[in-house]
Structure 1
Amino acid sequence: MTVKQLTLPELVAACAELGVPGVGLWREPVQAYGVEATAGLVRDAGLAVTTLCRGGFLTALDPDARAAALADNRRAVDEAAALGTDTLVLVSGGLPAGSKDLGAARERIADALAELAPYAEEHGVRLAIEPLHPMYAADRCVVSTLTQALDLAERFPAHQVGVTVDTYHVWWDDRAPAEIARAGAGGRIHALQLADWTTPLPEGVLNGRGQIGDGAIDMRAWKGCAEAAGYTGPIEVELFNEGLWARDGREVLKETAERFLAHAIDE
């Protein structure tokens, strides 16, 4: 998504050229290109698919909408397995229309996980609940903190359900370092993503993730926190940014790799 202006073949070629070993894929471009075709493309390039994004949106009250969401998440699991990744990132969903009950919405997520987690395990896929910044709680994700995400995940075995740690969403939370340690102790850090927080946020805020090094987040410190908790998996950079999307994608990918080395790797 950081360089969504690139086609999948262009992305794979650019990663190979820059020595980027893995990529987190999003379902929409994968579906457009074809799941099996994408799997072959990345496999032939020697590129690992680190995660698939996204499943989730599991808070619906309407029975038909709930059934449709569960079916879509099973398809997402199938796609992740076909792509060779063991991690499906979940954005849990916001409040249903007319509802103001955050607690009930989170319980519906737990109910959905009880159905989806065994299915994911059968396909060798883990579900990774991603808490989103509280500004998204109403319309996108009622899970706003790592505490809330872990409270849900810990109802299930760690090899079935864990969490995604995204600096953009958790950097403000003074409890987050302790919750990362909690997640690590339980083997539940299933994905780590980096993005910076820059201000002022753009209108609509969704596409306001800053390039690494341009904002307020100490990337090296958060990476170190995850590693101290035992995380040894891949690290993704996920940037939703209209300015970056308007530029040459290969240039943006090169810049992102350089910023990662400069701001996240130990000196």
Structure 2
Amino acid sequence: MPDFKTRDFSGDHRWLSINTATVRKQGDLVEILDACTRRGIRAVAPWRDQVAAVGLDAAVRAVRTGELALSGYCRGGMFPADPSKAAEVRDDNRRAVDEAAALGAVCLVLVVGGLPQYSRPGSPASKDLALARSQVEDGIAELLDYAREAGMPLAIEPLHPMYAADRACVNTMAQALDLCDRLDPGRSGALGVAVDVYHVWWDPQLEAQIRRAGRERLLAFHVCDWLVPTTDLLLDRGMMGDGVIDIPRIRGWVEESGFTGFSEVEIFSQGNWWEKPMGEVLDTCIERHRSVV
């Protein structure tokens, strides 16, 4: 357990947020938000495809009807691309900012992309990871100006190195924070990080980098667990408490550094949790949030 005294989650679930991917197979976004509201869950983090499926106006109405907060909006990014796709990348990310603002999200989460052929299909194949990282920095720099005008903070989410080729070539907190320091040296709150324990729990520099991030850079905190063995690198995340991540310790570091937001449950689980009834999954999230987060 952390030395720092974290918030006590054992008595209620007021600081629980549900990333809607956790139950994406069990219902559409409106149904998910309704189920969360009925359980007293105060916050969610929707995905763009789920919003598109019901329509932005319907999603906004459901959020407002349920009086829900948004701990984040998933996702912008996927910046590396062939130069001919520059306008597509720019416009897609600006739409993500606009949607996040309409829904009232506290930040837009950026999954920055890997090699261009995977980030933006149709781009020529490349193995130049350094170029991809350069395109990520350029893309965030351009988007940051637009996001500032919209009042929408951008949260870079470093992903586990196993995703460097296809999903995110920013793989550590240090990489993400280096980008933040170069692009937002004044620590304005416009650019920060999303700390997902699934992706960063292994990093020996994690505690120091969370401390480096501080309150201004810590925009989102995601929880789930790492199963051993993991049968699928994308779709076999564990429910909190079922794996090997010391979640309370990491939460302690995050809160000691000034984070006071929601703990957002984000679970991709094709062979397990996506197969269970929505209510059972949400009820388990509530119980584990109180007991092991």
Same fold (TM over 0.5): yes
Q: Counterparts of 1:188 and 1:124 in 2: how far apart (Å)? A: 15
Match of 2:15 in 1: none
Q: Is 2:142 aligned against 1:112?
A: no
Secondary structure of 2:23's partner?
coil
Higher relative CO (Cα under 8 Å, sequence separation at least 6) belongs to: 2
> Where does the alignment leave 5 or more consecutive residues of structure 1 unmatched?
none
Q: Counterparts of 1:10 and 1:199 in 2: how far apart (Å)? A: 32
- Residues 113-148 of structure 1: CA distance to partner in whole angstroms, max 9, x if unpaired? 111001011111011000000001011110110000
Secondary structure of 1:192's partner?
strand
Match of 1:229 in 2: 257
- The question of whether the paired residues in 2 share the 8 Å contact of 1:77 and 1:125 is answered with yes
Structure 1 segment 1-267 matched on structure 2, within 5 A? 1-4=21-24, 5-60=26-81, 62-97=82-117, 98-157=125-184, 158=187, 159-184=189-214, 187-203=216-232, 205-242=233-270, 243-264=272-293
Please identify, of 65-74 and 6-15, the stretch whose mean Cα deviation from structure 2 is larger. Answer: 6-15
- Residues 120-178 of structure 1: CA distance to partner in whole angstroms, max 9, x if unpaired? 11111011000000001011110110000111111233322111100000000010111
Deviation at 1:101, TM superposition (A): 2.5
Amino acid at match of 2:140: L
Deviation at 1:42, TM superposition (A): 1.0
Amino acid at match of 2:269: N
Q: Counterparts of 2:190 and 2:87 in 1: how far apart (Å)? A: 21
Name the count of aligned residue pairs.
Answer: 261
- The question of whether the paired residues in 2 share the 8 Å contact of 1:154 and 1:161 is answered with no
- The question of whether the paired residues in 2 share the 8 Å contact of 1:118 and 1:160 is answered with no
TM-score (norm 2): 0.86
> Where does the alignment leave 5 or more consecutive residues of structure 2 unmatched?
1-20, 118-124
Percent of residue pairs bearing the same amino acid type: 49
- The question of whether the paired residues in 1 share the 8 Å contact of 2:227 and 2:242 is answered with yes
TM-score (norm 1): 0.94
Amino acid at match of 1:44: T
- The question of whether the paired residues in 1 share the 8 Å contact of 2:34 and 2:62 is answered with no
Amino acid at match of 2:53: A
Secondary structure of 1:207's partner?
coil
